[in-house]
């Protein structure tokens, strides 16, 4: 994966440090290893970001940022990937994870109508909690591992392609230089 493309589209360190949601992390955001961009840090950040995107909690960026600091992965990639669960996608995502969790736990789906209010969630938490958490953790794990593998493979394929291009350029330069 080309570093220039990723750096062009990802927020920089100053923009992330200025984010009020990440202010509790304070000095941890000044660690240089969370801003490095290589195959290991990008793949780890993909896992963390996708896993945390499926956590059924508010402010998913905070645990993602904390995990990035602990495991020394790339913070911008993880934060960007957390946002796959945004206000438009969060309802279908969590409905799917609830249905998956209920099916895997062999529980009857007990919710006929859904009201997207905090009161409804608190009133039905006992019925939807276990399947939602189980399904969310499972989907987060699968998405995280898939993201990790995809980033590693794509990065490796990019490196191999660049090796081949350099090898061809060297051969061409040698052939042009020969009398």
109-165 pLDDT, tens digit each: 766 666 666 677 777 777 788 888 999 999 999 999 999 999 999 999 999 999 999
Burial of 7 (0-12, 13-18, 19+ CB in 10 A): exposed
27 in Cβ contact with 15 (< 8 Å): no
pLDDT higher at 123 or 38: 38
Q: Count Cα neighbours of 14 within 13 Å in the Cβ-side half-sphere.
A: 0
Domain contains 90: yes
For residue 91, what is the DSSP state? H
**Chain segment 85-99, per-residue pLDDT in tens:** 988 998 899 889 988
The total domain count for the chain is 1
Residue 8 lies in domain? 3-95+137-177
99 in Cβ contact with 135 (< 8 Å): yes
Give the pLDDT band (50/70/90) at residue 108. Answer: confident
Q: What is the mean predicted confidence (pLDDT) over 44-73?
A: 92
Domain contains 125: no
Domain contains 103: no
Domain contains 113: no
pTM of the model: 0.79
Give the pLDDT band (50/70/90) at residue 174. Answer: confident
42 in Cβ contact with 80 (< 8 Å): no
């Amino acid at each position: 994966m080309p570093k220039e493309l990723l750096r062009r589209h990802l927020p920089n360190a100053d923009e992330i440090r200025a984010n009020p949601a990440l202010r509790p992390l304070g000095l941890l955001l000044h660690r240089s290893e969370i801003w490095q961009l290589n195959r290991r840090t990008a793949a780890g950040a993909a896992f963390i970001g996708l896993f945390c995107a499926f956590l059924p909690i508010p402010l998913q960026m905070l645990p993602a940022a904390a995990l990035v600091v602990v495991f020394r992965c790339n913070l911008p990639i993880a934060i960007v990937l957390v946002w796959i669960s945004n206000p438009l996608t969060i309802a279908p995502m969590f409905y799917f994870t609830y249905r998956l969790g209920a099916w895997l736990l062999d529980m009857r789906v007990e919710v006929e109508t859904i009201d997207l209010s905090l009161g409804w969630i608190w009133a039905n938490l006992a019925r939807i909690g276990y399947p939602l958490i189980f399904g969310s953790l499972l989907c987060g794990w699968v998405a995280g591992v898939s993201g990790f593998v995809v980033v590693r493979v794509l990065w490796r394929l990019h490196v191999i392609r660049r090796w081949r291009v350099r090898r061809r350029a060297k051969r061409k330069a040698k052939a042009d230089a020969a009398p």
